[in-house]
């Protein structure tokens, strides 16, 4: 079998290649050489880049076999995520790889700005000994304002709390209780600026955050404030910052990011009370290695069709630990649903009930769709292209959640309508400490059986002798029964036999069973891996 091709377009750590392992054909090109990149992309199943390679619609179109683009770092400014989603290409990054490095740099910039490290060093190199000119300020017992209490903001707050600083924060997406657990008081942005001696910015750059701290905000800032931005350029208006520093309303600034990068010519660089670095937040050996290893692992998952937690264009966001065990179960329910339906449904409800709904369960909708289409299309189905496949086939999908589940702690049900108006449903749950998968309902019949690799569902009119008939015919075909359950509406009414067998039942044997039982519906479902 031909190995999937992984194209590495920029220099990555040796640990990245090691993490990919021997299962791939690893190739290299210079991602900054546009012609070379476009020539190499058609053969690639995965593309690994850092920040210099531009992955736009043209590159994605050239990569006709691409399944995943991996950015060994946090920012995705060089990757057109929208276009990738339209092409069905997963985009992954390494969102936690540089958090420690970025937090440490923010602290370093704050200390350097407070103690005039940069101009004092420059003066000493010029042969000037000017101790009195560079009198700084302490961080101890000062107020730190953290703008953005995400992963990096939290790390900065923790580290500077150890300096004896009082910490307040602005973040409209964080609950006050969570902030209080970290010893941080949440305030609005105006309050933060008027009360803080030091401010450190840790927000993503979005239309809402661009220019968030501008002339009006800096005009209300506490006199003598020190401002640090090691997040993204453009969140702080550079012209307004220059004016505030020049006029002495702000004491100093520490900057690692700029509105336009690379930036080598800025009025800010003329000021002695500015310490600046060329976007070095992730530039540590540890961060680079973490990023490469993280995306290598994501590429392995993506190329095997598995869920990738760090995929940025897959619905679901951060997946709670209690949700993860249900992903595999829900994907199996999707495959069983398609096997029972024998066609693509016109509507599909993914119903999730129980305690699990206290968390974000949107990933279960994706898992259901991945299962629904796994045995329908020739191409590999992923968590990115499954919604596209649904849209192309006119399948209307709805996620339904309910926090109560009468019979099970948690329950996932796939319920759909077929073209003729009939309904198909299948339900599953996880039981016990080991979270064992159980199939508990099929088309209204209560069952309790493990969803093993080979299943069969036989619906017929209830009458004596049917179980023996099934056993005889399967025995003659050397198919061993691992589990069997009979469910019925009432005595003499419709009944359902659910079978778990050790090997796939041949089509001709299924037909024999159907005829012998006078069954009105016989379906076999094989859940062996598709990738």
The pairing of strands 274-276 and 396-402 is unpaired
The answer as to whether 316 is a domain residue is no
Report pLDDT digits (tens) over 318-372.
Answer: 567 788 889 889 999 999 999 999 888 999 999 999 999 998 898 899 899 989 9
Q: Check residue 222 and report its DSSP letter.
A: P
Q: Which domain holds residue 406?
A: 325-526
Question: Domain check: are 193 and 85 in the same one?
Answer: no
Dihedral angle sign, alpha carbons of residues 513, 515, 519, 520? positive
Report pLDDT digits (tens) over 207-235.
Answer: 788 999 999 999 999 999 999 999 999 99
Q: How far apart are CA 283 and CA 263, in angstroms?
A: 17
Question: Domain check: are 296 and 222 in the same one?
Answer: no
Question: Domain check: are 70 and 86 in the same one?
Answer: yes
- Please tell me the pTM assigned to this model: 0.61
The answer as to whether 312 is a domain residue is no
Number of domains in the chain: 3
Q: What is the CATH number of the domain that holds 346?
A: 3.30.1330.90
H or E segment to which residue 242 belongs: helix 238-246
Residue for token pair 């973490």 = 290
Residue that wins the pLDDT comparison between 95 and 410: 410
Report pLDDT digits (tens) over 434-487.
Answer: 889 999 999 999 999 999 999 999 999 989 999 999 999 999 999 999 999 999
Half-sphere exposure of 185 (CA within 13 A, CB side): 11
Q: At what angle do helices 117-125 and 99-114 cross, to 10 degrees?
A: 70
Q: How far apart are CA 101 and CA 136, in angstroms?
A: 25
DSSP output for 23-75: TSEEEE--TTSHHHHHHHGGG-SEEEE-SSS-B-HHHHHH-TT--EEEESSS-
Cis ω for the linkage preceding 42 (within 30 of 0): no
Question: Domain check: are 227 and 299 in the same one?
Answer: no
The answer as to whether 311 is a domain residue is no
Q: Check residue 300 and report its DSSP letter.
A: H
pLDDT for residue 531: 46
Closest residue by Cα to residue 451 from 436, 432, 442, 438? 438
Q: How confident is the prediction for the chain on average, in pLDDT? A: 91
Question: Domain check: are 83 and 115 in the same one?
Answer: no
Strands of the 250-255 sheet, one edge to the other: 185-186, 166-170, 143-147, 198-201, 225-229, 250-255, 274-276
Question: Domain check: are 355 and 503 in the same one?
Answer: yes
pLDDT for residue 318: 54
The answer as to whether 308 is a domain residue is no
The answer as to whether 45 is a domain residue is yes
The answer as to whether 531 is a domain residue is no
Half-sphere exposure of 131 (CA within 13 A, CB side): 0
Is residue 175 over pLDDT 80?
no
Question: Domain check: are 191 and 106 in the same one?
Answer: yes
| The two three-digit tokens of residue 222, written as one number | 């506490």
Report pLDDT digits (tens) over 140-153.
Answer: 999 999 999 988 99
Question: Domain check: are 293 and 246 in the same one?
Answer: no
Give the model's confidence band at 315: pLDDT under 50 very low, under 70 low, under 90 confident, else very high: low
Q: What is the CATH number of the domain that holds 134?
A: 3.40.50.720
Question: Domain check: are 475 and 331 in the same one?
Answer: yes
Buried (b) or exposed (e) across 231-269, using 16+ Cβ within 10 A? bbbbbbbbebbbbbbeeebbbbbbbbbbbeeebeebebe
Question: Domain check: are 38 and 167 in the same one?
Answer: no
What does the pLDDT average to over 49-72? 94
The answer as to whether 317 is a domain residue is no
The answer as to whether 213 is a domain residue is yes
Question: Domain check: are 69 and 105 in the same one?
Answer: no
Angle at 140 between CA 138 and CA 141, to 5 degrees: 125
Q: How far apart are CA 226 and CA 157, in angstroms?
A: 16
What are the residue numbers of the active site?
232, 261, 279
Among the ranges given (301-305, 313-317, 332-336, 492-496), the one the predictor scored with the smallest mean pLDDT = 313-317
Closest residue by Cα to residue 399 from 425, 365, 429? 365
Report pLDDT digits (tens) over 64-109.
Answer: 999 999 999 877 889 998 888 778 888 999 878 889 999 999 999 9
pLDDT for residue 376: 80
Residue that wins the pLDDT comparison between 401 and 320: 401
H or E segment to which residue 476 belongs: helix 466-476
Question: Domain check: are 466 and 339 in the same one?
Answer: yes
pLDDT for residue 525: 92
């Amino acid at each position: 079998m031909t190995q999937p091709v992984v194209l590495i377009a920029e220099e990555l750590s040796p640990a990245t290649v090691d993490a990919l392992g021997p299962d791939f054909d690893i190739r290299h090109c210079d991602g900054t050489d546009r012609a070379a990149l476009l020539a190499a992309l058609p053969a690639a199943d995965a593309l690994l880049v850092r920040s210099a390679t531009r992955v736009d619609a043209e590159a994605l179109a050239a990569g006709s076999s691409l399944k995943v683009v991996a950015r060994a770092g946090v920012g995705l400014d060089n990757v057109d995520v929208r276009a990738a989603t339209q092409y069905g290409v997963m985009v992954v990054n390494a969102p936690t790889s540089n958090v420690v490095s970025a937090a440490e740099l923010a602290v370093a910039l704050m200390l350097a700005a407070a103690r005039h490290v940069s101009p004092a060093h420059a003066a000493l190199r010029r042969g000037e000994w000017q101790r009195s000119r560079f009198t700084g300020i302490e961080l101890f017992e000062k107020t730190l304002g953290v703008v953005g209490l995400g992963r990096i903001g939290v790390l900065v707050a923790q580290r500077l709390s150890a300096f004896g600083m009082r910490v307040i924060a602005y973040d409209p997406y964080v609950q006050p209780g969570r902030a209080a657990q970290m010893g941080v008081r949440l305030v609005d942005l105006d309050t933060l600026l008027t009360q803080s001696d030091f401010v450190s910015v840790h927000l993503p750059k979005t239309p809402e955050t661009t220019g968030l701290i501008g002339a009006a905000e800096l005009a209300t800032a506490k006199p003598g404030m020190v401002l640090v931005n090691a997040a993204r350029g453009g969140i702080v208006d550079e012209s307004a910052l220059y004016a505030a520093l020049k006029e002495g309303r702000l004491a100093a600034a520490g900057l690692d990011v700029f509105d336009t990068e690379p930036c080598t010519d800025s009025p800010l660089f003329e000021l002695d009370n500015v310490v600046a670095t060329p976007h070095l937040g992730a530039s540590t050996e540890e961060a680079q290695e973490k990023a490469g290893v993280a995306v290598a692992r994501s590429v392995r998952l993506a190329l095997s069709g598995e869920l990738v937690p760090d995929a940025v264009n897959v619905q679901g966001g951060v997946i709670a630990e209690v949700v993860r065990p249900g992903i595999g179960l829900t994907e199996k329910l999707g495959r069983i649903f398609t096997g029972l339906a024998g066609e693509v449904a016109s509507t599909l409800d993914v119903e999730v009930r129980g305690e699990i709904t206290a968390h974000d369960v949107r990933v279960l909708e994706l898992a259901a769709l991945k299962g629904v289409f796994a045995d329908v299309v020739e191409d590999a189905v992923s968590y990115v292209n499954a919604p596209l496949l649904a849209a192309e086939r006119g399948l209307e999908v709805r996620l339904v959640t309910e926090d109560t589940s009468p019979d099970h702690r948690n329950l996932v049900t796939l319920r759909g309508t077929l073209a003729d108006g009939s309904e198909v449903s299948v339900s599953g749950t996880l039981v016990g400490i080991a979270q064992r998968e159980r199939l508990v309902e099929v088309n209204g019949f209560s069952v309790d059986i493990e969803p093993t690799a080979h299943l069969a569902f036989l619906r017929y009119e209830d009458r004596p002798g049917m179980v023996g008939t099934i056993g005889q015919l399967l025995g003659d075909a050397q198919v061993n029964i691992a589990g069997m359950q009979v469910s019925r509406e009432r005595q003499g009414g419709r009944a359902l036999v659910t079978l778990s067998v050790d090997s796939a039942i041949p089509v001709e044997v299924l037909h024999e069973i159907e005829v012998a039982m006078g069954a009105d519906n016989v379906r076999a479902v094989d859940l062996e891996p598709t990738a």
